[in-house]
Amino acid sequence: MIKVIRSTKTGERLQAVANLKSTTEVVSNRLLLVDEKRTYQSHAGFGGALTEATTAVLKQMSNEQKRAVLEAYFGKNGLNYNLARITINSSDFGYGNYDYLDGPDVALKSFTLKKEETRAIPAIKEVNAIRGEKIKLFASPWSPPAFMKTNKMMNEGGKLLREHYETWAKYFTLYLKAMKDYDLAVDFISVQNEPEAKQRWESCLWTAEEEALFIRDYLVPELKANKLDTKIFIWDHNRDEIVRRARITLNDPEVRKHVYGIAYHWYVSDAHHHLSIVHDMFPEKHLYFSEGCVEMANKVLVPLGEMGSWKHGETYGRNIINDFNNYNEAFIDWNLVLDESGGPNHVNNFCEAPVMYDTKNKEVVYNPSFYFIAHFAKYIKVGAKRLHTVHDIERKFYACSYLNPDKKMVIVIQNEDDKDVDLTLNIRGKTYLFLVKGRSINTLLEV
């Protein structure tokens, strides 16, 4: 039997709507076929970012509200997130630039994570307590301290001065060791968030060759010298250039040996097939989605009145399905929680989060995007194997399937058309008939 969980534009949210029984009836309708004998990548989990903005908004909630939000994301009965992205130094989602030094301290003697004691650290510990186990942490820098850069600013791009490659590598290891002092192990790091973007906020430019050089000659030796086993990701930018960057950065066998995976974002590009190209070139590398959001700063593309709209949820579902079908192993969303303006953000680069907090009315709002993520995260378990999934619907229809460690199948189907779709499901040699409602997302569970 197949249990159907559905959310719709008309208001259903994670509602159990049907139990499908197999049939021998042959109907002239559309087909979705799942072949459980053809398996692909293993699933590594879901997560979101504990930025300064997110932790600041959480602190404005009542204790009950905060606990409920963190339970909704990380609890075993919630989205069951097992991953969190955190920033090394500040990002735009916060109140301004900061690093972990007292001025231009080249010797790094003043390094301390004291500032994170009111930001990421307590939030991570609260999440770990909720889960009863430690989440995996993915840490990324937006910018080195200003004195290490060509432009002497954390904002507006600039480059890391070659004379500070070693300094910056040591800074990474000090960060990792200091986190361990708080009993928090960082599992993954990326060299740089969005290394080809000069932004108004914290940013730093790296070529593919520079990233490779830094990893091989500076970062890896420092990690080894300090007996740190944190895994390294490269790129951490958009899909459009992921093939070129991976090809160049990993051209050196020594660099390739030490890089665990390639992280990417969804902005600018819908070229999901680029992930499959990277997988084909570097099949041993792990592809993690590390950031994406509905951007609110461009009022023409996304008017503020559209915040929390159903189509924003569809953006999440479509990206997750298309990336999963192209070898993605993990999905890490951007800010977990933001305020009603889409911030705080110190350069007004606002965006929507799946959970928003109305600070004026003291109300927590769960946007459609939260429920779209839930259709995957609640049901696809770590270690699940992606299954071969095909259908004959030409537009606005997306599907992916996984086999969980308990050998039960999970299928997620998203219909972005206004029209319903009559569907025949072929699963494990059996046939099921299913009406996929217009503007819906559906999770089908083997029971």
Q: What is the pLDDT of residue 301?
A: 53
Burial-class residue 419 by CB neighbours within 10 Å (0-12, 13-18, 19+).
exposed
Q: What is the pLDDT of residue 299?
A: 55
* pLDDT tens for the 447 residues of the chain, in order: 999 999 999 999 999 999 999 999 999 999 999 999 999 999 999 999 999 999 999 999 999 999 999 999 999 999 999 999 999 999 999 999 999 999 999 999 999 999 999 999 999 999 999 999 999 999 999 999 999 999 999 999 999 999 999 999 999 999 999 999 999 999 999 999 999 999 999 999 999 999 999 999 999 999 999 999 999 999 999 999 999 999 999 999 999 999 999 999 999 999 999 999 999 999 999 999 999 999 886 554 555 568 889 999 999 999 999 999 999 999 999 999 999 999 999 999 999 999 999 999 999 999 999 999 999 999 999 999 999 999 999 999 999 999 999 999 999 999 999 999 999 999 999 999 999 999 999 999 999
Domain ranges (residues) in the chain: 2-40+387-446, 45-382
- Per-position b or e across 143-176, b if 16+ CB within 10 A of its CB: bbbbebbeeeebbebbbbeeebbebbbbbbbbbb
Amino acid at 121: I
- Rounded Cα distance between 17 and 209, Å, is 53
Torsion of CA 264, 267, 271, 273, to 10 degrees: 30
The pTM of this model reads 0.98
Q: What is the pLDDT of residue 309?
A: 93
Q: Copy the structure tokens of residue 430.
A: 């059996």
Reported as a single tens digit per residue, the pLDDT across 248-300 is: 999 999 999 999 999 999 999 999 999 999 999 999 999 999 999 998 865 54
The DSSP letter of residue 118 is G
| 45-382 CATH, one of 3.20.20.80, 3.40.50.10490, 3.40.50.300, 3.30.1330.30 | 3.20.20.80
CB 139 within 8 A of CB 178: no
Q: Give which of 13, 48, 42, 15 is closest to 352, Cα–Cα.
A: 48
Torsion of CA 392, 394, 399, 403, to 10 degrees: 30
Amino acid at 224: K
Q: Copy the structure tokens of residue 222.
A: 């420092």
Reported as a single tens digit per residue, the pLDDT across 81-130 is: 999 999 999 999 999 999 999 999 999 999 999 999 999 999 999 999 99
- Rounded Cα distance between 76 and 349, Å, is 33
| 2-40+387-446 CATH, one of 3.20.20.70, 2.40.50.360, 2.60.40.1180, 3.40.50.12640 | 2.60.40.1180
- Rounded Cα distance between 190 and 261, Å, is 9
Using a pLDDT cut of 90, give the percent of the chain over it: 97
